[in-house]
Amino acid sequence: MKIIIKTISILIILVGTLSMMSCGAPTASSNKGAISGNAAEKVYVAPGEHDSHYAFISGGFSGQLSVYGLPSGRLFRVIPVFSQDPEKGYGYSEETKPMLMTSHGFVPWGDSHHPDISQTNGSIDGRWIFINENNTPRVARISLKTFETEEIIEIPNSAGNHSSSFVTENSEYIVCGTRFAIPFPQRDMPIKDMKGEFKGALTFLNVDQNTGNMDIAFQLRMPGFNYDLAHPGRGKSHGWFFFSTYNTEEANTLLEVNASQNDKDFIAAINWQKIEEYIDRGAGKKMPARYAHNIWDDNKHTATSTMKREVLVIDPSEVPDAIYFLPIAKSPHGCDVDPTGEYIIGSGKLSASMTVHSFTKMLKAIEDKAFDGDAYGMPILKFDAVNYGLLNQPGLGPLHTEFDTRGNGYTTFFISSEVVKWNIENLEVLDRQPVYYSVGHLMIPGGNSRTPDDKYLVAMNKITKDRYLPTGPEVCQSAQLFDISGDKMNLLLDFPTIGEPHYAAGCAAELIKDKTTKIYRLEENEHKYGVKSESESKVVRKGREVHIYMTMIRSHFSPDNIEGVRVGDKVFFHVTNLEQDYDVPHGISMIGANTSELLVMPGRTATFTWEPKEVGIWPFYCTDFCSALHQEMQGYVRVSPRGSNVPISYTLDGDIPGE
Amino acid sequence: MIKLLIQYGIALGALTFFLACGGNSDNPASSSSKKTKAKSMVAQKIDPMKNLGVGPIKTAIVLESEINTEMADEGKSIYKAKCSACHKKDKKFIGPAPKGILERRHPTWIMNMILDPEKMVKEDPIAKELLMEFNGAPMANQSLTEDEARSILEYFRTL
């Protein structure tokens, strides 16, 4: 097999070379970038074999999180998070609708951005993955056992929750920085009076280490800059969090120009351990707020949404030596901390050089009070006093840096469409490879940790143009996989992604794969309308509501003949999958139901509603191909006129179920 | 899912076999009588009371002469929760009735059928036949433990 692949690869190279020779045009072959002869072998995962790594790639404006295998680039699952997903019934079933509740009501869509995996002792631990929503500020927590969204918390006083959801090295906090400065609290005022009046909330969510449940620990009411990205300190800098800012000009219009006036913006360095001490001594005040907190109960198979009313707000003036500003080259995006915790790297999008600050020098500068004035009372540290050095002219439009364990950084350049490998200590560029095209973030598994797993790098591109077969005006965005185990980066694979692959997190498959849930135990099913056996299946009328307690197993529903439903009723199908075997979901759909199907995992119960509008006999059926008799898995509901005296009855094979 | 497709494929293949060999009758009743004939031909070769089946239980189970009623009660409740959607105790339903099964099958075969139905319908001749007799409806693996399956077996003794 290997020989065949090698032969094919050689042929491909030959054909490429020939075409180049014959046409003289460099297009096709130069677009292969750094591809080497044995790239196909390196990404080939034989049928039935498993990938070595998981990649969790944000779905961007799809609102979801996708799960890929590396190195194959195969898509395994799209986890619904912030958007409804009719394929899985997420956001349509009665149980999951509360997950999408917000202070603005039910929001069926979101814009997911930066996934980050939970950590213990500075290494990712595979318990949960967090992801932020930009538009209606929220953070979600997804279980890496079930690969389902278990919790979503809304962030009040924030707008454009962009610099989020990054995790500290023991998962103490998840952070959320607002992209828009807004009045805090909201009020009616002229937009042009923004400067000094708007604020920027930096929110710290704490995490219950047993349940994973999040809560807002505190919000810092910072100046009205725009907060773009963030990363936690680690190792020696554990206890600090670093946020990049732009629009320190506080412009409220034509930011394209007006937010690019200052030569330097800031990285805000926040000593959260010190802030905790201040809080213990009574700092901060509770302010009224409204934000939804939605929690999934894995035993009840049901989410509840609670509207919270209060948040602890800290004014920077209350925590005098906990917040400093580090000047950084103009309009930074990435704000990245290397695995040792010493280097804080700011990628000034509009600057010719990248800024590398030193944590050790920062502490010294604070001690020496090496200040260059202040911003709204918070000291600005002298650039030279904190700066380790500059990486000069590495490329155009630096965006984001991740790291290997050998002292190197890997930075994406949006404008020049390339990934650059450089040595941090020597500030020396070691390699550069083109990407296709306009790369945003990149991901090295374990990239936001002390212990990156530095075999692969995934570059995530915003534009693909000619890279794939065209599909009309809208074409896919993409990821590109590099092997970074050698001195030079080797491009191995392009693969298309869902939505916008904004950012990603990854880990070795071993961290997760043997711990994943296979089935839900029926005996642990505490769903209010769940039934444990077919004999408990039934239909109950409650005024104008009809509750069907239905079961499914290969390959029938119980009951499957139901009469006594009337036009104008609201019919609840509470459907329990009685299977206890891996990979045997059943689906159900009802003609005319104004909602999605349900897809019910073994042992689970889920509910959809149907409001029949016409008399007649209306069928339902199983939507997920479950067995040789899947096509036979179907049933009927008789709908009689409103006011009819046809009594409720329900049967399976002519009998009341269980008799 | 793949497994199911394979099973579907096997079922289809077997059906095709029956249709092809079972002859030219359009009458479904007649083709089902052919099925029965084919079945009895295979069954003749095996003594079902000696066939242990294939699966996790390799050595023959020897039942105590007395029924353990505590275990049987436990088995009854597990049976109700995990099996009754497809089996009625004394009438053919999705699958066969368990009443009298100990006169038809070896206890070890029953255990293996409960614990690894996928392997049984692929490899055990009687289980294969049953799959066809019951319209290709595969027996669900309900992920029971050996103890749970043993309790159900004890319950079957009371029927």
Question: What region does A331 belong to: left with phi over 0, alpha with psi -120 to 50, or beta?
Answer: left
CA nearest to A653 within chain B: B93
For residue A496, what are the contacts with CB-CB under 8 A and spacing of at least 6?
A464, A468, A476, A477, A478, A479
Whole-number pLDDT of residue B41: 52
User: Which tokens is A105 given?
Assistant: 């009501």
**Chain B neighbors of A535, CB-CB under 8 A:** 80, 84
What is the pLDDT confidence band of residue A329, given thresholds at 50, 70 and 90?
Answer: confident
When CB atoms are compared, the residue of A533, A626, A628 closest to B84 is A533
Task: Answer whether B143 sits within 8 Å of A581, measured CB to CB.
Answer: yes
SS3 assignment, position A298: coil
Task: Answer whether A556 sits within 8 Å of B1, measured CB to CB.
Answer: no
- Look over chain B and give the mean of its residue pLDDT values, rounded to a whole number: 80
- Which positions 105-164 of A are in contact with B (Cβ < 8 Å)? none
| Cα R_g (chain A), whole angstroms | 28
CA nearest to B8 within chain A: A628
Whole-number pLDDT of residue A26: 35
The partner residues of A407 in beta bridges, in order of sequence, read: none
Better-scored residue on pLDDT, A260 or A363: A363
* Phi, psi at B77, each rounded to 5°: -70, -35
Whole-number pLDDT of residue A30: 57
CA nearest to B91 within chain A: A659
Whole-number pLDDT of residue A627: 86
Task: Answer whether B81 sits within 8 Å of A522, measured CB to CB.
Answer: yes
Separation of alpha carbons A659 and A150, rounded Å: 38
What pTM does this model have? 0.88
Question: Which of B9-18, B43-52, B59-68 ranks highest by mean pLDDT?
Answer: B59-68
CB-CB contact of A604 with A577 (8 Å): yes
Separation of alpha carbons A554 and B139, rounded Å: 8
Task: Answer whether B86 sits within 8 Å of A551, measured CB to CB.
Answer: no
Which residue type is seen at A26?
A: P
**Chain B neighbors of A532, CB-CB under 8 A:** 81
CA nearest to A48 within chain B: B2
Whole-number pLDDT of residue A33: 67
When CB atoms are compared, the residue of A523, A535, A627 closest to B138 is A627
Task: Answer whether B141 sits within 8 Å of A583, measured CB to CB.
Answer: no
Residue A32 has pLDDT above 90, yes or no: no
Task: Answer whether B140 sits within 8 Å of A556, measured CB to CB.
Answer: no
Task: Answer whether A628 sits within 8 Å of B80, measured CB to CB.
Answer: no
Whole-number pLDDT of residue B11: 44
- Look over chain A and give the mean of its residue pLDDT values, rounded to a whole number: 93
Task: Answer whether B85 sits within 8 Å of A581, measured CB to CB.
Answer: no
SS3 assignment, position A586: strand
CA nearest to B15 within chain A: A628
Task: Answer whether A554 sits within 8 Å of B81, measured CB to CB.
Answer: no
CB-CB contact of A86 with A139 (8 Å): no
Listed by start position, the domains of chain A span: 61-513, 529-651
Interface check A21 vs B, CB under 8 A: no
CA A342 to chain centroid, in Å, comes to: 27
pLDDT in tens, A13-25: 444 443 433 333 3
Which residue type is seen at A587?
A: G
Query: A112: which DSSP letter?
Result: B
Q: 3-class secondary structure for B25-72?
A: CCCHHHHHHHHHHHHHHHHCCCCCCCCCCCCCCCCCCCCCCCCCHHHH
Residue that is written with structure tokens 């036009």 in the block: A567
Among A555, A599, A656, the residue to mutate for chain B (most B Cβ within 10 A):
A555
Task: Answer whether B93 sits within 8 Å of A653, measured CB to CB.
Answer: yes
Q: 3-class secondary structure for A200-262?
A: EEEEEEEECCCCCCEEEEEEEEEECCEEEEEEECCHHHCCEEEEEEECCCCCCCCHHHHCCCC
Separation of alpha carbons A435 and A479, rounded Å: 9
Give the DSSP H/E element, type plus range, for residue A21. Answer: helix A2-23
pLDDT in tens, A604-647: 999 999 999 999 999 999 999 988 889 999 999 999 999 999 99
Among A536, A627, A632, A655, the residue to mutate for chain B (most B Cβ within 10 A):
A627
pLDDT in tens, B104-158: 999 999 999 999 999 999 999 999 999 999 988 889 999 999 999 999 999 999 9
pLDDT in tens, A381-418: 999 999 999 999 999 999 999 999 999 999 999 999 99
Which residue type is seen at B123?
A: E
Task: Answer whether A533 sits within 8 Å of B80, measured CB to CB.
Answer: yes
Separation of alpha carbons A561 and A47, rounded Å: 43
Burial group, residue A193, by CB count within 10 angstroms (0-12, 13-18, 19+): exposed
Chain B: give the shortest CA distance to residue A76, in Å: 14
Among A522, A531, A535, A578, the residue to mutate for chain B (most B Cβ within 10 A):
A578
When CB atoms are compared, the residue of A522, A534, A579 closest to B84 is A534
Whole-number pLDDT of residue A319: 97
CA nearest to B85 within chain A: A534
CA nearest to A633 within chain B: B137
CA nearest to A659 within chain B: B88
Task: Answer whether A553 sits within 8 Å of B85, measured CB to CB.
Answer: yes
Interface check A558 vs B, CB under 8 A: yes
CA nearest to A602 within chain B: B142
Task: Answer whether B82 sits within 8 Å of A578, measured CB to CB.
Answer: yes
Burial group, residue A96, by CB count within 10 angstroms (0-12, 13-18, 19+): buried
Residue A474 has pLDDT above 80, yes or no: yes
In chain A, pLDDT over 90 holds for what percent of residues? 88
What is the pLDDT confidence band of residue B18, given thresholds at 50, 70 and 90?
Answer: very low
Task: Answer whether B4 sits within 8 Å of A579, measured CB to CB.
Answer: no
Q: What is A529-651's CATH number?
A: 2.60.40.420
pLDDT in tens, A120-164: 999 999 999 999 999 999 999 999 999 999 999 999 999 999 999
The answer to whether A61-513 and A529-651 have equal CATH topology is: no
A61-513 has which fold? Methylamine Dehydrogenase; Chain H (2.130.10)
What is the pLDDT confidence band of residue A173, given thresholds at 50, 70 and 90?
Answer: very high
Q: Which range among A325-329, A597-601, B21-25, B108-112 shows the weakest confidence by mean pLDDT?
A: B21-25
Better-scored residue on pLDDT, A114 or A1: A114
User: Which tokens is A438 given?
Assistant: 């306009």
CB-CB contact of A441 with A423 (8 Å): no
Whole-number pLDDT of residue B136: 86
Task: Answer whether A584 sits within 8 Å of B142, measured CB to CB.
Answer: no
pLDDT in tens, A566-598: 999 999 999 999 999 999 999 999 999 999 999
User: Which tokens is A487 given?
Assistant: 């001195």
A361-387 per-residue burial string, b: 16 or more CB within 10 A, e: under 16: bbeebbeeebbeeebeebbbbbbebbb
ipTM over 0.95: no
Whole-number pLDDT of residue A659: 64
Interface check A546 vs B, CB under 8 A: no
Separation of alpha carbons B5 and A20, rounded Å: 46
Whole-number pLDDT of residue A118: 98
When CB atoms are compared, the residue of A523, A556, A582 closest to B94 is A556
Chain B: give the shortest CA distance to residue A88, in Å: 16
Among A553, A560, A630, the residue to mutate for chain B (most B Cβ within 10 A):
A553
Interface check A534 vs B, CB under 8 A: yes
Interface check A580 vs B, CB under 8 A: yes
Residue A272 has pLDDT above 60, yes or no: yes
Interface check A512 vs B, CB under 8 A: no
Q: What number of other Cβ atoms are within 10 A of residue A503's Cβ?
A: 24
Q: What is the mean pLDDT of residues A363-392?
A: 97
Residue B12 has pLDDT above 60, yes or no: no
Whole-number pLDDT of residue B38: 47
Interface check A625 vs B, CB under 8 A: yes
pLDDT in tens, A234-271: 999 999 999 999 999 999 999 888 888 888 899 999 99
Interface check A576 vs B, CB under 8 A: no
Task: Answer whether A584 sits within 8 Å of B140, measured CB to CB.
Answer: yes
Q: What is the mean pLDDT of residues A319-324?
A: 97
Whole-number pLDDT of residue A15: 41
CA nearest to B77 within chain A: A533
When CB atoms are compared, the residue of A625, A653, A658 closest to B84 is A658
Give the DSSP H/E element, type plus range, for residue B80. Answer: helix B69-82
When CB atoms are compared, the residue of B5, B93, B135 closest to A629 is B135
**Chain B neighbors of A628, CB-CB under 8 A:** 4, 7-8, 11-12, 135-138
